[in-house]
């Protein structure tokens, strides 16, 4: 029996719970298929060979950016099912969410799917949240086939969170570029991996950062907190992973996370990267501090990272997508930006 000591005493934990925030899968679910669809800018970046589809048209053939994002997400989901050799009608649940108000890209992209639907809001941590909950429901014997889907679109996000594009607002050096990208994956109870072995669920962390042009700094503490909990709960070290990737901290958040670990006398730098730094070439693509958006970590995971695991480049990855949970209204009311980070262990070996 697992036990946990808290301020009010000792409590007993359920079978799969380890420490305060982590769980271990008894029968690690397998990633049967994964796909990513991106826009032109992302397709010009260093990961261009990893995407399943690159659209030359920001509108993805639609009339508005919101409908474009919907179409992009729909395509990613369809490709992930194809690559898993599964008919979408055999998927038992889909977890989906995005950045748009009321998560409409997800609702409209899956409206005609006829699949039982769980809507999420985890901001840019959505892919980790969907992946984690999918794995837990499969390991809990509630389903055999679950999909997790998310997306973001530079143009729909800019006008919702910042300014109309036509305004031509100047971006600060700390600003990040919202990826026009969607990622989808299908998890199954049986399969040849990669497998989801552990999940560490994030708590909301707020460092008091109020600058919406510095999301990386706002989310860095959440990433540090979740990664620390993961290592502590599971008695692991950074070197137990071939690669540890945070979601979309960009240059500033990524360096804050390393600083925070350095204070604990832990050097994670040999194993640590960030999807926001991987998606674009910062020198030539004018993205300032890096990429962001639900689609950033989702497209890097569903292309570059999982392809790399399948090709033998990495055996064990810790995928820790990060999200900023504010809105323009809360920012306008002087609130600081709460961050969250969920971490998912992915391994080519079932038995870790």
Rule CB under 8 A: which of 55-114 touch a second copy? 63-64, 66-67, 87, 89-90, 92-93, 97, 99-104, 107-108, 110-114
Which residues inside 21-50 make contact with a second copy, applying CB under 8 A? Answer: 21, 23
CB 211 within 8 A of CB 174: yes
Taking each helix axis from N to C end, the angle separating 250-263 and 215-233, rounded to the nearest 10 degrees, works out to: 40
Residue choice 46, 117, 242, 285 for contact with a second copy (CB under 8 A): 117
Residue choice 31, 136, 147, 343 for contact with a second copy (CB under 8 A): 136
Q: How, if at all, do strands 316-324 and 243-246 pair?
A: parallel
> Measured from the CB atom, is 14 or 170 closer to a second copy?
14
Q: Please report how close the Cβ of residue 45 comes to a second copy at its closest, in angstroms.
A: 27
> Measured from the CB atom, is 6 or 170 closer to a second copy?
6
Which residues inside 169-228 make contact with a second copy, applying CB under 8 A? Answer: 189, 201-204, 206
> Measured from the CB atom, is 124 or 257 closer to a second copy?
124
Q: Which stretch binds a second copy (CB under 8 A): 209-217, 235-243, 285-293, 334-342?
A: 334-342
Which residues inside 272-331 make contact with a second copy, applying CB under 8 A? Answer: 323, 325-330
Helix H or strand E encompassing 106: helix 104-109
Number of residues binding to a second copy, judged by CB under 8 A: 74
Q: Which long-range contacts (CB under 8 A, 24 or more apart) does 41-46 make?
A: 41/154, 41/177, 41/180, 41/280, 41/285, 42/179, 42/180, 42/181, 42/279, 42/280, 42/299, 44/285, 45/279, 45/280, 45/281, 45/285, 46/278, 46/279, 46/280, 46/281
Q: Please report how close the Cβ of residue 70 comes to a second copy at its closest, in angstroms.
A: 9
> Measured from the CB atom, is 53 or 118 closer to a second copy?
118
Q: Please report how close the Cβ of residue 56 comes to a second copy at its closest, in angstroms.
A: 23
Whole-angstrom distance, CA of residue 306 vs CA of residue 5: 37
Ramachandran angles phi, psi of 116, nearest 5°: -50, 130
Q: Please report how close the Cβ of residue 28 comes to a second copy at its closest, in angstroms.
A: 14
Q: What separation in angstroms does the CA of 234 have from each of 2, 20, 229, 345, 352?
A: 12, 10, 8, 11, 12
Which residues inside 5-24 make contact with a second copy, applying CB under 8 A? Answer: 6-8, 11-17, 20-21, 23
């Amino acid at each position: 029996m697992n036990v946990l000591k808290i301020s009010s005493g000792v409590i007993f934990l359920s079978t799969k719970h380890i420490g305060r925030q982590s769980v271990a899968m008894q029968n690690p679910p397998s990633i049967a298929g994964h796909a990513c669809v991106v826009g032109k800018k992302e397709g010009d970046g260093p990961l261009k060979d990893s995407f399943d589809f690159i659209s030359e048209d920001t509108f993805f053939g639609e009339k508005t950016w919101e409908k474009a994002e919907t179409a992009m997400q729909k395509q990613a989901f369809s490709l992930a099912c194809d690559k898993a050799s599964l008919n979408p009608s055999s998927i038992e649940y889909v977890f989906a969410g995005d950045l748009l108000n009321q998560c409409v890209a997800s609702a409209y992209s899956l409206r005609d799917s006829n699949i039982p639907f769980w809507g999420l809001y985890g901001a840019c941590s959505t892919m980790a949240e969907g992946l984690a909950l999918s794995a837990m429901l499969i390991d809990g014997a509630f389903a055999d086939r679950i999909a997790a889907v998310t997306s973001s679109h530079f143009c729909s996000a800019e006008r919702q969170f910042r300014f109309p594009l036509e305004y031509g607002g100047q971006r600060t050096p700390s600003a990040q570029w919202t990826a026009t990208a969607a990622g989808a994956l299908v998890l199954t109870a049986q399969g040849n991996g990669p497998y989801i072995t552990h999940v560490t669920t994030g708590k909301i962390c707020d460092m008091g950062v109020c600058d919406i042009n510095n999301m990386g700094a706002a989310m860095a503490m959440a990433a540090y907190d979740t990664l620390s909990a993961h290592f502590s709960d599971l008695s692991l070290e950074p070197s137990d992973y071939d690669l540890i990737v945070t979601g979309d901290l960009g240059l500033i958040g990524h360096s804050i996370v390393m600083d925070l670990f350095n204070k604990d006398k832990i050097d994670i730098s040999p194993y640590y990267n960030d999807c926001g730094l991987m998606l674009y070439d910062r020198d030539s693509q004018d993205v300032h501090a890096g990429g962001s958006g639900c689609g950033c970590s989702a497209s890097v995971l569903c292309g570059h990272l999982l392809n790399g695991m399948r090709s033998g480049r990495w055996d064990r990855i810790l995928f820790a997508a990060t999200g900023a949970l504010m809105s323009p209204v809360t920012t306008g009311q002087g609130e600081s930006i709460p961050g969250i980070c969920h971490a998912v262990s992915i391994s080519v070996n079932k038995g870790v």
